[in-house]
Amino acid sequence: QVQLVESGGGLVQAGGSLRLSCAASGRTFSRYVMAWFRQAPGKEREFITAISWSGGSTYYADSVKGRFTISRDNAKNTVYLQMNSLKPEDTAVYYCAAAAGLSTGSYYYSQSTYENGYWGQGTQVTVSS
């Protein structure tokens, strides 16, 4: 079992930036595909970005495309989410997720891939207007 711990959340003004980190405990981190989800008050959890094993391929939801960047450092067992041009609607709890042992038809960019994976406890991001 891999343990994920998010950090880096906080309060930021609209237009500002934050960088979230997700630290993983497993030594097989490099074999896991990783993703970030977020959940705003009163809304369903949203799949916003994902990254392949090597970090060579990424996915972004339209809501964050062009503003957020996901990356990973396998040597540090860490995945990052750089968030720029933040908007009040970005306010949410952000969760890191990991999945391994993908089945045929399961991909890093598919939300369902992470349903049976591992999840962090989340970090709060609040964007003020």
Q: pLDDT tens, 55-100?
A: 899 999 999 999 999 999 998 999 999 999 999 999 999 999 999 8
Q: What is the predicted pLDDT for the residue at 34?
A: 95
Q: How many beta carbons lie within 10 A of that of residue 26, not counting itself?
A: 16
Residue 120 has pLDDT above 90, yes or no: yes
Q: Are 12 and 18 in contact (CB under 8 A)?
A: yes
Q: What is the predicted pLDDT for the residue at 46?
A: 98
Q: What is the DSSP letter of 62?
A: T
Q: What is the predicted pLDDT for the residue at 91?
A: 98
Burial readout 28-63 (b: 16 or more C-beta within 10 A, e: otherwise):
ebeebbbbbbbeeeeeeebbbbbbebeeeebbbbee
**pLDDT interval class at 48 (50, 70, 90):** very high
Provide mean pLDDT across the span 100-108. 78
Q: What is the predicted pLDDT for the residue at 110?
A: 93
pLDDT in tens, 12-34: 999 999 999 999 987 777 789 99
Q: What is the predicted pLDDT for the residue at 106?
A: 81
Region of 85 (left: φ > 0; alpha: ψ -120 to 50; beta: rest) is left
Q: What is the predicted pLDDT for the residue at 125?
A: 98
In the chain, what's the furthest Cα-to-Cα distance? 44
